[in-house]
Amino acid sequence: LLRASASSSSTETVTAVSEIPAKMKAWVYDDYGAADLLRLDEGVSVPEVKEDQVLIKVVAAALNPVDYKRRQGKFKATDSPLPTVPGYDVAGVVVKVGSQVKKLKAAGLPLAIETANEGLERSGFSAGKSILILGGAGGVGSLVIQLAKHVFGASRVAATASTGKLDLLKSLGADLAIDYTKENFEELAEKFDVVYDAVGQCEKAVKAVKEAGSVVALTGAVTPPGFRFVVTSDGAVLTKLNTFIEDGKIKPVVDPKGPFPFSKLVEAFTYLESGRATGKVIVDGF
């Protein structure tokens, strides 16, 4: 999570801004472990932009579970070397573009909506099909509900959450909101064309799918016929998904405990890691 230490006046799309500082503030970790390993470094070098990259002055960021899983060392084998500045999703202003970057508007890079969409596409989800979403109130699940119902044309959407979040599931487009503290979804008579598991319950998820249906398993152990994928980021897909947000078909769900100020990043991560976040946990005040 980066914060440029000097401001620059720029419009939405810019090729270069003269006053890009050499140093910026960033939250950094030097070793794998808990959130308290994060330290605020005032003197991190602003990265050089390669020909196919852009430099973004960050205004706000959303946290994703992958950010803390990386910090915990779960991707150690393939991760970039330490020290690490965490973060994927940012909103901000493009202040510099590489020579090969041809088109770009303001920068919002939402990992959760790309994951939601890619999982639906890979499962073969289409109009008229039914879906059960496990973890419907989280960052990814809240978007799967909306995409399935308002974009893909689902015939029926069911989703799980704890008692206090059932109204939210309905407001997002769920026809059936299942309270996992009171009911076992895998024991319902109703079965679904697709089960989208954003919790890590694949073993139970496969019991709720119709024969020849698909089970998307974002995390945890995978039980056949469930499948896992790792989200791919793609500018063209983001542009398409952005139209659904502009049309009002998809509404970002922002956790009411946020936005957390930049200085409270450790608190923001600790909250996300509790596994109780509603929609996206946002950090601002960069």
Q: In the complex, which residues of this chain contact ligand NDP (CB under 6 A)?
A: 64-66, 69, 111-112, 115, 134-135, 137-141, 160-162, 165, 180, 198-199, 218-219, 230-231, 272, 275-278
Instruction: Quickly tell me which residue has 């003197």 as its tokens.
Output: 43
* Spatial separation of the C-alpha atoms in residues 244 and 188, rounded to whole Å: 32
Q: Which is nearer to ligand NDP, 57 or 117 (CB)?
A: 117
Q: What letter represents residue 140's amino acid?
A: V
Q: How far is CA 196 from CA 125, 140, 161, 185, 254, in A?
A: 10, 10, 13, 13, 21
Whether the CB-CB separation of 228 and 239 falls below 8 Å is answered with no
Q: Which is nearer to ligand NDP, 57 or 280 (CB)?
A: 280
Nearest residue by C-beta to ligand NDP? 138
CB of 37 to ligand NDP, least distance (A): 19
Q: Which is nearer to ligand NDP, 38 or 137 (CB)?
A: 137
CB of 119 to ligand NDP, least distance (A): 8
Q: Which is nearer to ligand NDP, 18 or 181 (CB)?
A: 181
CB of 87 to ligand NDP, least distance (A): 14
Alpha helices, H only, the chain: 65-71, 111-122, 141-146, 166-172, 202-205, 235-246, 265-273
Instruction: Quickly tell me which residue has 């939601």 as its tokens.
Output: 116
Q: Which is nearer to ligand NDP, 108 or 138 (CB)?
A: 138
Q: Which is nearer to ligand NDP, 207 or 276 (CB)?
A: 276
SS3 per-residue string spanning 127-186 = CCCEEEEECCCCCCHHHHHHHHHHHCCCCEEEEEECHHHHHHHHHHCCCEEEECCCCCHH
CB of 165 to ligand NDP, least distance (A): 5
The vertex-219 CA angle with 148 and 206, nearest 5°, equals 65
CB of 198 to ligand NDP, least distance (A): 4
Structure tokens belonging to residue 145: 């509900």
* Spatial separation of the C-alpha atoms in residues 283 and 286, rounded to whole Å: 8
CB of 161 to ligand NDP, least distance (A): 4
Q: Which is nearer to ligand NDP, 25 or 280 (CB)?
A: 280
CB of 139 to ligand NDP, least distance (A): 3
Structure tokens belonging to residue 42: 């005032």
